Amino acid sequence: MSDQITPVIGLIGGSGLYDIEGLEDRRWERVESPWGEPSDELLFGTLAGVRCVFLPRHGRGHRVPPSELNYRANIDAMKRAGCTEILSLSAVGSLNGDLPPGTFVIVDQFIDRTFARKKSFFETGCVAHVSMAHPLCPRLGDALEAAARDVGLKYKRGGTYLVMEGPQFSTKAESELYRAWGCDVIGMTNMPEAKLAREAELCYATVAMVTDYDCWHPDHDHVTVDAVVKVLLENAGRAKDLVRAVVPMLGQPRGACPAGCDRALDAAIVTPPEKRDPALVAKLDAVAGRVLRAA
């Protein structure tokens, strides 16, 4: 790996975030992936001179539900587009009375309760096990915290995001269970996204923007799409302020990630070179070419 990396900032916009206005030299471009169709074209551009690539997670027009997103194609396409890191901007419900709607949580843990999604790039013919002990990049978290402070956001550093399958919202018993587990926020999308970003050796961070109290709070109505949309339109403006502040911080040439996100595959692949399936190895080119080509 060369000493200095010129970052390309990947941005994945969730519900309510389908564009990044203010991006200069902008162009929407289709990126082909051997893993299928990404949610939409990718928006390429620059912010304060820093190269950025934006993907609306559900596609423009919010066409694709959480369980049907092609998470593998999305992450693979962002890596092929040159992204070195990904910031996920997502709407969530609050499971914690100290995190009211409007709060931005810089997540540091996940509990993955999804069950109907493709969660790995590695399959029969090339097996790998990456560490997910610390699923989010602390270097990105530091920058997001500094930017959130600069733009005066109501934010919390650290918090556990429970990822449910959806698309229906939770039952009250589920909501209470996740609260008892110590979860702070709930959403439907950031897994397997974070797992796949780790396998693709991309630094990944989540800004979870609280829109509602799910269905556990005795003093608040249970969540509805109307309520979520109302708050997320307010959150979306603040999210764009955050992006404008954080991108210049992250865009400076840098060394390798101190947390090792960009070397996650160094000791992860179990299948020896002579037993690997050449077709799968070819498909893994963008995600894992760094280690596979070295073999």
Ligand X SMILES: Nc1ncnc2[nH]cnc12
Q: Indicate which residues carry an active-site annotation.
A: 212, 214
Q: Is 212 among the residues that bind ligand X (CB under 6 A)?
A: yes
- Classify residue 225 by burial, with Cβ atoms within 10 Å: 0-12, 13-18, 19+: exposed
DSSP-based helix, strand, coil % in the chain, nearest 5: 30, 25, 45
* Structural tokens at position 248: 């210049």
Q: Is 238 one of the annotated binding-site residues? A: no
Contacts of 218 (CB under 8 A, 6+ apart): none
Stretch that binds ligand LNRAV4D5, among 125-133, 186-194, 244-252, 266-274 (CB under 6 A): 186-194
Q: Which two tokens stand for residue 170?
A: 């939770």
Q: Which is nearer to ligand LNRAV4D5, 14 or 38 (CB)?
A: 14
**80 token code pair:** 């092929």
**Complex with ligand X: residue 228 or 247, whichever CB lies closer:** 228
Q: Residues 45-84: x/- map of binding to ligand LNRAV4D5 (CB under 6 A)?
A: ------------xx-------x------------------
Q: Describe the crossing of helices 285-292 and 71-80 by its angle, rounded to 10 degrees.
A: 60
Query: Under rule CB under 6 A, which residues in 172-191 are in contact with ligand X?
Result: 186-188
Terminal-residue alpha carbon distance, the chain: 15
Task: Extract the runs of DSSP E, i.e. beta strands, from 177-232.
Answer: 185-187, 203-212
As a dihedral over the C-alpha atoms of residue 16, residue 166, residue 76, residue 25, rounded to 10 degrees, the angle is 0
In 3D, which of 117, 271, 288 has the Cα closest to residue 200?
A: 288
Q: 218: exposed, middle or buried (C-beta count within 10 Å: 0-12, 13-18, 19+)?
A: exposed
212 touches, from ligand X, ligand LNRAV4D5, none (C-beta below 5 to 8 Å by class): ligand X
Q: Which of 47, 148, 200, 223 binds ligand X (CB under 6 A)?
A: 223
In angstroms, the CA 74 to CA 18 distance is: 15
Per partner kind, with CB cut-offs from 5 to 8 A, the member of ligand X, ligand LNRAV4D5, none near residue 99 is none
Asked if 43 interacts with ligand X (CB under 6 A), we say: no
Is 239 near ligand X (CB under 6 A)?
Answer: no
- In 3D space, the residue among 270, 240, 99 whose CA is nearest the CA of residue 179 turns out to be 99
Residue that the structure tokens 């203010």 belong to: 22
Nearer to ligand LNRAV4D5 by Cβ, of 15 and 74: the residue is 15
Residue 2 annotated as part of some ligand binding site: no
Residues 14 and 6: their CA atoms lie apart, in Å, by: 26
* Interface pattern 74-113 for ligand X (x via CB under 6 A): -----------------xxx--------------------
Residue 93's binding partner out of ligand LNRAV4D5, ligand X, none, with CB under 5 to 8 Å set by partner kind: ligand X
Tell me which residues touch ligand X (CB under 6 A): 91-93, 169, 186-188, 211-212, 214, 223, 228
What residue numbers does the annotated binding site for phosphate cover? 15, 57-58, 90-91, 189
What residue numbers does the annotated binding site cover? 15, 57-58, 90-91, 188-189, 212-214
Tell me which residues touch ligand LNRAV4D5 (CB under 6 A): 14-15, 57-58, 66, 90-91, 187-189, 225, 228
What residue numbers does the annotated binding site for substrate cover? 188, 212-214
